[in-house]
Structure 1
Amino acid sequence: MTLTFTLDPAVTPDLRDGLLDLWTDVSNAGGAVGFVAPVDRETIRPELVKHFAGMAGGRTRLLVAHDEGGRVAATAFLAFNTHRLMTHWVWLYTVMVHPRHQGRGYGRDLLAAAADAARTFEGTEAIRLTCRGGHGLERFYGSCGYKEVGRIPGAIRVAPGDDRDDIVMLLPLT
């Protein structure tokens, strides 16, 4: 099975619902995408609306992957910097692959597609992301070419007494 990637798809009710389902399923499977399980679609909806507002304002781009059945299988958002001294790199965030598709190399495919997309953005020289410690995500991103460039110990509190590092990763594109 292969995924079909689309940058800046039309936001339709089907896409919105697919993104909500993806984000909910990833979160409930233990994914580190801004929530702690258990969550439902209505908990996630306001955050997705913020992402859509960024897209409507031209500050954010959506990369989405559909599986052969047409279902949303993976996604990542790329956000432009608004600070005039930092416009040469973009943020990558809310990077998700549906649990039913994990372990097939689709995460690597998603990151490669995000890098390809970022290379088309005029003046973009790097991608920066942060990830939550305790999941081994820094090893995965590292295997995809990202370098750890910073770490803030205990910056993310997932539960009382469960603080995780906020890890900053960078992928040079040039």
Structure 2
Amino acid sequence: MPLTFTLDPAITPALRDGLLDLWTDVTDAGGAVGFVPPVTREDVRPELLRHFAAMSEGRARLLVGQDEEGRVAATAFLTFNTHRLMTHWLWLYTVMVHPRHQGKGYGRDLLAAAEDAARGLGFEAIRLTCRGGLGLERFYASCGYKEVGRVPGAIRVGPGEDRDDIFMLLPLA
């Protein structure tokens, strides 16, 4: 059954808790979403609050995918570029699909919903970064994104474990 996507849902305690659970579960399953496992909800909470602050300031929008039971199953934050010469594109951050839903095509659905949202908001491109060493760049490339830059060893996930920071771009025009 497909996910139901909502741009800018009301931030309720249930949604907040669902986002915390999603982020924690994705990280603990090995997902590259800003942390190294294991994490707790309390580890993730400050970062989620930073995203909420950006939303309240009008600098970001939240896209949420919910499963047939109404649980948060996928998410991405569409973050506006504040540099006055780069306002024609936005960043896609914290792209996540819950591990119980992986392999169902929901990642592609989430990226398509993000693309639709960005187009609807009048943007010409989406940029994102991903952590090397996990094959994420191949997934994003299969969804139309092109690698436009790479910083070798920019992400340190542990002692002696450095990963590339890969920049991807999806032109919308």
What band does the TM-score fall into relative to the shorter chain?
Answer: over 0.9
- The alpha carbon displacement at 1:120 in A equals 1.1
Give the aligned length: 173
- 2:168 partner amino acid: M
Deviations 1:99-144 (A, max 9, x none): 000000000000000000000113x100000000010000000000
Q: CA RMSD in A?
A: 0.4
* Paired residue type of 2:131: R
Q: CA deviation at 1:91?
A: 0.1
- Aligned residue number for residue 154 of structure 1: 153
Query: Structure 2-normalised TM-score?
Result: 0.99
Once the two structures are TM-superposed, the CA of residue 2 in structure 1 deviates from its matched residue by: 1.3
> Which runs of 5 or more structure 2 residues have no equivalent in the other structure?
none
Q: Does 1:168 align with 2:167?
A: yes
Structural mapping, 1:28-39, within 5 Å: 28-39=28-39
Partner Cα distance (1:2, 1:22) in 2 = 17
Which runs of no fewer than 5 residues in structure 1 stay unpaired? none
SS of the residue aligned with 2:129?
strand
Q: Following superposition, which runs of at least 4 residues in structure 1 exceed 2 angstroms of deviation?
A: none
Distance 2:127 2:2 in 1: 26
Equivalent positions of 1:34-53 (< 5 A) are 34-53=34-53
Q: 1:65 aligns to what?
A: 65
For residues 10-36 of structure 1, what are the alpha-carbon distances to aligned partners after superposition, in whole Å with 9 as ceiling and x for unaligned? 000000000000000000000000000
TM-score normalised by length of structure 1: 0.99
1:111 aligns with 2:122: no
